[in-house]
């Protein structure tokens, strides 16, 4: 099994095989989860002091904060796997043209 390593900004690399979910940090439950992880020592901050745009949940229970948007991270993973950056609705538009 190969590990998909994705650059999440500022020289930080994330093993996507360990990722369960990527969420936006705006909801109250996500903010609560971040605070709980900080208290337990399970928070990994990869923002380099920038605004958090993505909260990444790992299978180990760790919470990773990233300064890149979830769409950017998944786009980089898709590119690393040889896929297209177009969303499904954009692919349909390209086919119709």
DSSP codes joined into one string, 21-83: EEE-TTSHHHHHHHHHHHHHT-EEEESTTSPP-EEEEETTS-EEEESS-HHHHHHHHHHHTT-
Predicted model pTM: 0.82
- Residue 31 falls within a domain, yes or no? yes
Domain carrying residue 64 = 5-86
pLDDT tens-digit series, residues 18-29 = 999 999 999 999
- Residue 94 falls within a domain, yes or no? no
- Residue 15 falls within a domain, yes or no? yes
Number of domains in the chain: 1
Q: 90 or 33, which is more confident?
A: 33
Structure confidence at residue 89 (pLDDT) = 64
């Amino acid at each position: 099994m190969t590990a998909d390593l994705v650059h999440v900004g500022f020289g930080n690399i994330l093993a996507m095989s360990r990722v369960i979910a990527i969420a936006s940090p705006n909801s109250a439950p996500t903010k609560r989860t971040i605070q709980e992880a900080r208290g337990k020592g399970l928070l990994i901050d990869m923002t380099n002091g920038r605004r958090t745009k993505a909260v990444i949940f790992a299978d180990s229970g760790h919470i990773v904060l990233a300064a890149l948007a979830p769409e950017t991270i998944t786009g980089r993973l898709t590119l690393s796997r040889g896929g297209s950056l177009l969303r499904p609705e954009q692919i349909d538009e390209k086919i119709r043209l």
